[in-house]
Structure 1
């Protein structure tokens, strides 16, 4: 048998690997963003498996993979080559798309992989703007069944790397791609993690959209400066940052994550990859507060009040109760608020009650008698004041 045929047999055996489902947050984040039809950009050092992950994703989703190395193409390869027709003065000059775009349109579905994006010069990045956002290549429009994923190395490790332009960066969901030791070892042993689309609950779609809109709009109403924040440095502009476009992506991701009951780790990767770390973490915190009990319900039945276990959420509930009494102060509501604070002392850290208790005490009318619940809080408040006085003396 010829040597090359034997070598081919050995290569076939080496390529014969299997897949298994296992928890992998970054792979789940990638598949959810792909399901949401949002362009994704994988950032990672060379050789850690970005391209291999895309090949495996395309195979798992049964999508034909089209790989385009952005840095070896001219701008006209994405904007289209002008082709003269019979009468340009009447019909104009059409822009002919490249062959890979024609194949994608004919197939009607596929995964377009834009590799080595950070090595593409500024002129090519500018030509990619319509490809990524409008899905137009020359005179063609990519069909809805085509998804777009890109990969890039940090400028420090890219060959002749460029910073990503702000307009192009703001069109992507940015995911930091890293390797897990056990995943690599098991994969080299022949079993890689499998990718699969999230299972969306058909009965929760409307609820998921309402929840996502309420979360994003509620945050931006309270924090209007987060709507658009162009970073000051060129490096940060090449990553995730908040704009109306990226907030729209974050809203879509929250809706998909809610309908799929995605873990908080995966949702955190996605929203921070859309609007940046700071705004993304604020959105996650606001999602937590959306599930907090209504302060009016707590004031209506303080004896049955169930307070969150997490300290920051418990503090937010107590502050909301005191604020509700301030907006509509009555003797009954004031007494109920003290009962809730007493319950908080009995079921959690007493230091969380000090500030709400001090604020609530200042709302007392002269003719209101001290409630019985206040006796259970007197020690906590007096101890805190003594500690404050000692700190001031020091």
Structure 2
């Protein structure tokens, strides 16, 4: 008898929380969303504050105006003060689709900027939300497009085998290989990859759905592409399975755009930036989109390192690319020139790049 692999959604939620990506769980009532979030918070050592949208007022998120030292202070509620005092934690926004539009509007700065009234929550505060589909929620509302576009959407599904095992041995929390977030270099590399993809498919940069139902779920925008890039970095950092990456990417930018990015990433087969910088005889890809991705990864590696030697060696790689794709090389040259480390000398390879540098506006 074979057993099916566990659902990727709980693991995707755990990866999103560890990477500090705001995530929304969509599912029917009574399917264990709240208990799973509480168990994850306990496993990660994070205090959890539960805020139910249906019983809150806009001032619970925008702050209550009070007089303070001759001016107006937008006082935060107690749950925000407790999170600020801890310095970390997990804010669980439950029953999101029962929150009326005015409350949803007040939540925008909380989700995106971690700001409640005049109180800035610590950056280490994670945000998880849960919602029933509007037709299953008591007095349900569609999620507003601005709020939906600030969250990674995951479809919470219940499988009979998981429930049966949970009743017998307890409901398991995903065992993450790494609980720390990806580093700056990993995020920069993922952003370079996503940027290279969007050069090929510029029409996917922004695609706002026409109907309110679709606008209340995942759709592509510059903000959600940034979340998709951070999800790619977090999945590579944690070494998770492909199904988890798919859940997070589709949950950030929607199915149509997400499947295209996943297919493109799967077929990249790029050389390691470190091998290129070391001067190894590694061929550069001929396709323009792959070359953009390679040079973006090289620049991201150099910027994260911050040293003089990698910066100087990167110009040799850019010079190689300029022989076949000067426009691609010019883009990388602009990024490198703007990040010249103190004391770095101009390498000899830059002499071969004079036409490219002139085209990039770096030479008169």
TM-score of the pair, normalised by structure 1: 0.65
Q: Do structure 1's residue 219 and structure 2's residue 197 form an aligned pair?
A: yes
Q: How many residues align?
A: 274
Structure 2: gaps (5+ residues): 272-281, 286-323, 325-364
Which residue of structure 1 aligns with residue 87 of structure 2?
Answer: 108
Q: Do structure 1's residue 77 and structure 2's residue 60 form an aligned pair?
A: yes
SS in structure 1 at match of 2:91: strand
Matched-pair contact (CA < 8 Å) for 1:32–1:198: no
Deviation at 1:23, TM superposition (A): 4.3
Tell me the distance in 2 between the aligned counterparts of 1:276 and 1:26: 15
Structure 1 198/228 Cα, relative in aligned 2: closer, same or farther at 3 Å?
farther
Deviation at 1:218, TM superposition (A): 1.5
Structure having the higher helix fraction is 1
- Residues 227-306 of structure 1: pairs in structure 2 closer than 5 A: 227-291=205-269
* Runs of 4+, deviation exceeding 6 Å: 296-299
Tell me the distance in 2 between the aligned counterparts of 1:39 and 1:103: 19
Q: Do structure 1's residue 27 and structure 2's residue 27 form an aligned pair?
A: no
Which residue of structure 2 aligns with residue 63 of structure 1?
Answer: 46
Matched-pair contact (CA < 8 Å) for 1:200–1:256: no
- Residues 78-227 of structure 1: pairs in structure 2 closer than 5 A: 78-87=61-70, 92-199=71-178, 205=183, 208-209=186-187, 211-227=189-205
Larger Rg, first or second structure (1 or 2): 1
Deviation at 1:62, TM superposition (A): 1.5
Matched-pair contact (CA < 8 Å) for 2:114–2:123: no
Deviation at 1:200, TM superposition (A): 6.9
Tell me the distance in 2 between the aligned counterparts of 1:23 and 1:48: 16
Matched-pair contact (CA < 8 Å) for 1:60–1:195: no
Question: RMSD between aligned alpha carbons?
Answer: 2.5
- Residues 352-391 of structure 1: pairs in structure 2 closer than 5 A: none
SS in structure 2 at match of 1:291: coil
TM-score of the pair, normalised by structure 2: 0.71
Tell me the distance in 1 between the aligned counterparts of 2:23 and 2:226: 14
Which residue of structure 1 aligns with residue 37 of structure 2?
Answer: 54
Tell me the distance in 2 between the aligned counterparts of 1:146 and 1:81: 21
